[in-house]
Structure formats: structure tokens, C-alpha cells
Amino acid sequence: MEKIIQVISGAKGGGAELLVRELHKIYLSQNLEAHAVYLSGYSDPSSEKEVFLGANPRSPLNVFRLRKILKEQSCNASGNIAVHVHLTWPFFYVALASLGLSKIKLFYTEHSTTNKRRNIHLLRLLERFFYARYSRIICISQGVEKALFHWVGFALAKRLVTIPNGSRIYSLAERPSLTGRLPRLVSVGSLTSRKNFATAIKAIAQIKDEIGLYTIVGEGPEGYRLEQIIKKMRLEGKVRLLGWSDTIETQLHAADIQLVPSQWEGFGLVAVEGMSTGLPVVASNVDGLREVLDEYNPSVTLVNEPLSVDEWVSAIRKVIADIHVQGADCLACSSRKQAEKFTLGQMAERYLDVYRLA
């Protein structure tokens, strides 16, 4: 591939957005002809080969904006161009914008095991048309690939490939003993219903005298509802909604335990980031998360019923006991070893292999 162009809704965020930003940096560092296109947002002086359309990601006009960019890139290329797409609206708009353009090969990363569209079976045929526009559909976990296979069927099965996400590997934190103090908990993620932070907060309400502080880092539409739950349960001194932060590593270093209460998850990037700092993790036992965390890892505790407050209470208490008995250093070693299986460099190389072979 002569060029690599990544397209996503925006640059701000810690999931797919983070991966695009990091992949772009890696490809530039390898002296590849790499570009990134963000439907929303505006550029800053540090942007290198990045295009910000400053548009609403949902706007159908993005089809024409993207077509102009892809046509220019195609006209200026002597070889094929890998256009790697992420998230819903770019998925639809790039598929349309690239119709009839030569030298363009499309790739799409499927980041989730489910979405609301799959509840409407009449959309299956329409979506198969869009998926068929992509040379390869990269699934970030086996759980994602299994779910997508059931949706697109055998006709597109050969286009599916699983490549686990890569993660930022943070520095290993030196955490003080829990002797004489209460543990601090942390969660990172968008404040949406699927992240299930309401259940985690309700669990904290039952053991509020056993923990020091539970910090949730993120923003989203569920923010107001979560604030009301905190107030209703009188947890203002125990649960903190921090909002979005660029200092994720600092927040992870300040905690003793990470909670990932998602009802479903494509991969669990934040869990890997937390484990890279040595945090033991309590997570929902769902596809994507389960295979990433390794249920047999001593630093991992899985909750079989994500909506069960009682299960979360028991799991949190178990991890606190594990820290006292096994020691934070022992658990940190297990966490770190698991996180190092998922580096950004490994992911970038596997993506390049997919581009070359398509």
C-alpha cells in the first residue's frame, strides 16, 4: 500500500479514537505515507498529516467531503491506498464516498460485540451491502468476530479477521500498603448505559465504609443520572465523577483496584491500561473482556451477572482480601504480564500485514 488513511468520527476519546491517534503516530515514525481524517473537531499546530472536517459526524454531507479527500489522494497515488475506517458513521459514509474510485481498498475495524441496529433484522441486508464494500473487516476480539459472523453470514465470513487491540502500556506504579488505610477504586469510560457504572455505584453504597474513594473518569449522556444516584445514596464523599481527563495514567496510579462493569465490551482497552500499571481488575464476565483479561489470572476477578449489585459487592471484597493476603506486588506482577500481551506496536504490525495481503 502506497498510503494509509484512517477515518474516524473525531479525535477526542479513549477507545477507537485513541487507537487511531496512536496508530497514526506509529506509522509516521516508520516513515509511512500516513494520514488521519476526523469528521469532527479542529486541527492544532501539532497536527501532522491530519485533516479535521469540523463537521457533525452524523451529517450526510460528509459523504461529499470524504469523496473529495479520497479522490484527491487517489489521483496523486501510483499504487493502492489503504483506507481504514472506524466507528458507525464513517463506516457508512466512506463506503459511499469511495464508490467508483480506483486504487482505494477499504478496511473496517469492528469495535463492539453488538449495537442497536442489530435489533432490527430488516437492516441486515442493507448492512451486508456496506460490509461487502470492505476488503477486510478487522474484529478486535474473538467475541466481536463471533457476533459479527452471525450478523453478516457466510458470504462475508472470509473477510473477517481478528486482531486484538493494542494498548498504551503505562509505567508500573508503586502502591503503598493498605495497612492503615482504605482502598481506592477507579473506572475509566464513557458515561453511557452500557458501561453500567450505576450498578458499580450501588455496590459502593453497600460497602462505603470499606473503601476510601471510587473515581469514575469519563463523560457522556449518563452523567446527570449518575450524579442523582450519588446524591440519593449520599455518596458525595465516596464516589467522584471526574469528567474526561488527559491524565489517565495519574488516575490509574492513584488507585488500588479497577472496576470495569460493562454490560458488553468489544475488547476492554481501559482494563489493559489499568493492568499495565499493576492494578487488579474486577470486570464483567462478558465476551471481549473475558478473553482479554484471562479469567485464570490471579489479579482478575470476573462478575458473572453484571447487573447484580450483590455480585459486585462480593467481588470487590474478594479483591481487597486478595491484596491483603497475596500482596499488591504479587498481583501487580500478574496484571503487568497480561497487559504486555497487547501492545500498540504488535497491533500496528498486524494491521500492516492485513493491508499488504488484501
- 106-146 residue pLDDT tens: 999 998 888 888 888 888 999 999 999 999 999 998 889 99
Task: Put residue 182 in one of left, alpha, beta given phi > 0 → left and psi -120 to 50 → alpha.
Answer: beta
Quote the pLDDT of residue 43.
Answer: 82
pTM of the model: 0.81
Quote the pLDDT of residue 268.
Answer: 86
d(C-alpha 205, C-alpha 199), whole Å = 10
CA distances to 38, 113, 140, 261, 263 from 286, rounded to whole Å, are 31, 10, 14, 10, 7
Task: Put residue 204 in one of left, alpha, beta given phi > 0 → left and psi -120 to 50 → alpha.
Answer: alpha
The CATH label, of 3.40.190.150, 3.40.50.2000, 3.30.230.70, 1.10.10.10, for the domain at 3-166+343-357 is 3.40.50.2000
Residue 14 reports pLDDT greater than 80: no
What residues contact residue 217 under an 8 Å CB cut-off, 6+ apart? 186, 187, 188, 189, 242, 243, 244, 245, 248, 251
d(C-alpha 261, C-alpha 353), whole Å = 34
Average pLDDT, the chain: 94
State the span(s) of the chain assigned CATH 3.40.50.2000: 3-166+343-357, 184-339
CA distances to 66, 80, 88 from 123, rounded to whole Å, are 24, 31, 14
pLDDT tens by residue, 252-287: 999 999 999 999 888 888 999 999 999 999 999 998
Quote the pLDDT of residue 245.
Answer: 86
d(C-alpha 298, C-alpha 23), whole Å = 31
Average pLDDT (289-315) is 94
Query: Phi and psi of 206, rounded to 5°?
Result: -80, -20
Quote the pLDDT of residue 110.
Answer: 95
- Residue 208's H or E segment, with its range, is none
Strand residue runs (E) in 62-189: 81-86, 104-110, 136-139, 160-162, 184-188
pLDDT tens by residue, 155-191: 999 999 999 999 989 999 999 999 999 999 999 999 9
pLDDT tens by residue, 31-54: 999 999 999 998 877 778 999 999
Quote the pLDDT of residue 277.
Answer: 98
Query: Phi and psi of 126, rounded to 5°?
Result: -65, -45
Residue 307 reports pLDDT greater than 90: yes
In this structure, CATH architecture of domain 184-339: 3-Layer(aba) Sandwich (3.40)
Which residue, 332, 304, 305, 338, is CA-closest to 319?
A: 332
Average pLDDT (74-78) is 90
Which residue, 66, 276, 14, 292, is CA-closest to 284?
A: 292
d(C-alpha 175, C-alpha 13), whole Å = 27
pLDDT tens by residue, 200-256: 999 999 999 999 999 999 999 999 999 999 999 999 999 999 998 889 999 999 999
